[in-house]
Amino acid sequence: MNISNKLSQSVLNHVLRNIPYTAPTTIYLALYKSDPTPADTGTEVTGGAYVRIPITFTAPTLEAGQQTVKSAADIEFPVATADWGLVTHVGLRSALTGGDLLWSKAVDNPRTIQTGDKPKFLAGGTSVKFTN
What is the structure's pLDDT at 132?
Answer: 58
**What percent of the chain lies above the pLDDT cut of 70?**
98
pTM value? 0.94
Ranges of residues in the chain with a pLDDT under 50 are none
DSSP letters, 42-106, are S-B--STT---EEE-BPPPEEETTEEEEEBSS-EEPPPPSS--EEEEEEEEESSSSS--EEEEEE
